[in-house]
Amino acid sequence: MIHINKKTYLTTGEIGKILHVTRVTVYRWIRLGQLKAVRVHKGKYRVAKNDFAEFIKQHDLHNQVDSEIIAAPTLKILIVNDEPRIIKTLKTFLEKANPHYHILGATNGFDAGKLLVSFNPDIVILYLIMPGIDGFEICKHIKSDPHTKHIAVIAITGPAPEKNMNQMRKAGADGIFIKPPDYKKLWTSIEKLAK
């Protein structure tokens, strides 16, 4: 069984297994322009799930492919900030950048803690300087708990960024941005962490 439902791209080998053809056949489709692909290191190819879904549709191969395989993956993101306006603005930007994101927000530590369990996000965007919430402790808690340590944490820090950055690295943050973050760079960081 091929476990690829969370992946954005498929290898030629995975496509071959799904369609019961050789890798050479998949390469031929790519070279002929029938299957859109991107070239990665050492001349290997990767095929975006949506391009594979289009190929399946064009060649009427639906009966050979489980619909779950070509379904676009959903990345769950939790934004923790005490200002609902900032959560809404960032949520709107990220959903436009990638419509497959499922984003929720929490404005306090209690709600953030509940959502870590019930929502089980892939990534937490954590603003550090908030009244009544210690972002450093939340990050440490996420990274030290066996049930949540897989969650990537992107910290957003305000004043005294160098001190806060060092503290967040020690707490286990996967990425750190200075407030206000460049949304495009933040999105790029999310995409890298998702892979």
> 47 lies in a domain?
yes
Please give the chain's pLDDT, 195 residues, in tens.
Answer: 344 445 677 889 999 998 989 999 999 999 999 999 888 767 788 888 878 888 888 888 877 776 666 665 678 999 998 889 999 999 999 988 887 888 999 988 888 888 888 888 999 999 887 777 777 888 888 998 888 889 999 988 876 667 777 778 887 888 888 888 888 999 999 988 887
115 and 187 assigned to the same domain? yes
39 and 113 assigned to the same domain? no
Question: 16: domain CATH number?
Answer: 1.10.1660
94 and 49 assigned to the same domain? no
- Residue 80 confidence (pLDDT): 92
160 and 173 assigned to the same domain? yes
Specify the long-range contacts of residues 28-36, CB closer than 8 Å, at least 24 apart: 29/55, 34/58
Q: Which residues is 11 bridged to in the sheet?
A: 46
Domain boundary among 23, 48, 70: 70
Number of separate helices (H) and strands (E) present in the chain: 9, 10
> 15 lies in a domain?
yes
Cα–Cα distance for residue pair 75/190, rounded to 1 Å = 10
Q: Where are the alpha helices (DSSP H) in the chain?
A: 12-19, 23-31, 49-58, 67-70, 84-97, 109-118, 135-144, 161-171, 183-194
> 153 lies in a domain?
yes
Domain span at 189: 75-194
What is the count of structural domains for the chain? 2
Query: What pTM was estimated for this model as a whole?
Result: 0.63
120 and 168 assigned to the same domain? yes
Domain boundary among 44, 70, 96: 70
87 and 120 assigned to the same domain? yes
79 and 66 assigned to the same domain? no
60 and 81 assigned to the same domain? no
> Residues of 52-84 as b/e, b for ≥16 C-beta within 10 angstroms?
bbebbeeeeeeeebeeebbeeeebbbbbbbbee
Question: 85: domain CATH number?
Answer: 3.40.50.2300
